[in-house]
């Protein structure tokens, strides 16, 4: 293969990647938004579903997925389509993306796991397990875990700033080490054990 043919192939692959990163992801954002909003409406409108403890976990699962779509995927799509980096243009959106993008990613896992635990406890033969789960406890657990994760990811909003929305590695070395282990445990180990 000649040098010119290699360059043409690279340009072709880059244009395909730009199309996928831009328009396909934007279409998936629209479809995901419609689906998640529909889930939220269904769970909030039906009284029989609203009384279930599992409902709060599934509503928060949909909210965290919506947050993830709009904080993480949308800027990437806009960058691919228009070549405008929304994160570099707005310090607020930069901090919003790093704080809520990571928070919503982990919350999706956690709420799915909590929903599975809730279903297991509610369908247990033992009455003591069934009594462990109530709507008030589900709300309490949801708020508590959301706040804990929010506090864990506040350093992301502090460290990521400035031009091009980057963080210096020297400033956040200890936090980065913590996040590496946290990612390993919370994204790989915990969901696999629970599910």
pLDDT tens, position by position, 7-43: 888 888 888 888 888 888 999 999 999 999 999 999 9
As averages over each run of 10 residues, the pLDDT of the chain (195 residues) reads: 81 86 90 95 87 90 93 86 81 83 87 90 87 89 90 80 68 76 77 72
Q: What is the pLDDT of residue 32?
A: 94
Q: What is the pLDDT of residue 168?
A: 67
Q: What is the pLDDT of residue 58?
A: 92
Task: Report, at the CATH architecture level, how domain 3-194 is classified.
Answer: Up-down Bundle (1.20)
3-state secondary structure the chain: CCHHHHHHHHHHHHHHHHHHHHHHHHHHHHHHHHHHHHHHHHHHHCHHHHCCHHHHHHHHHHHHHHHHHHHHHHHHHHHHHHCCCHHHHCHHHHHHHHHHHHHHHHHHHHHHHHHHHHHHHHCCCCHHHHHHCCHHHHHHHHHHHHHHHHHHHHHHHHHCECHHHECCCCCCHHHHHHHHHHHHHHHHHHHHHHC
Q: What is the pLDDT of residue 164?
A: 67
Q: What is the pLDDT of residue 149?
A: 85
Q: What is the pLDDT of residue 31?
A: 96
Residue ranges of the domains in the chain?
3-194
Q: What is the pLDDT of residue 1?
A: 57
pTM above threshold 0.85: no
């Amino acid at each position: 293969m000649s040098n010119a043919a290699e360059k043409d192939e690279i340009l072709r692959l880059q244009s395909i990647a730009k199309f996928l990163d831009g328009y396909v992801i934007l279409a998936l954002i629209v479809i995901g938004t419609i689906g998640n909003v529909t889930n939220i409406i269904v769970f909030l409108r039906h009284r029989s579903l609203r009384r279930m403890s599992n409902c709060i976990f599934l509503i928060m699962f949909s909210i965290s997925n919506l947050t993830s779509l709009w904080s993480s995927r949308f800027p990437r799509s806009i960058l691919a389509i228009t070549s405008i980096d929304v994160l570099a243009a707005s310090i607020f959106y930069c901090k919003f993306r790093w704080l809520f993008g990571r928070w919503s990613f982990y919350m999706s896992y956690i709420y799915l796991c909590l929903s599975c635990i809730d279903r297991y406890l509610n369908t247990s033969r033992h009455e003591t397990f069934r009594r462990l789960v109530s709507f008030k406890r589900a709300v309490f657990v949801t708020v508590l875990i959301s706040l804990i994760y929010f506090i864990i990811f506040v350093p992301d909003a502090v460290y990521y700033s400035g031009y091009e929305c980057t963080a210096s590695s020297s400033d956040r070395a200890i936090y980065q080490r913590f996040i590496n282990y946290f990612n390993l445990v919370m994204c790989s180990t915990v969901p696999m054990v629970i599910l």
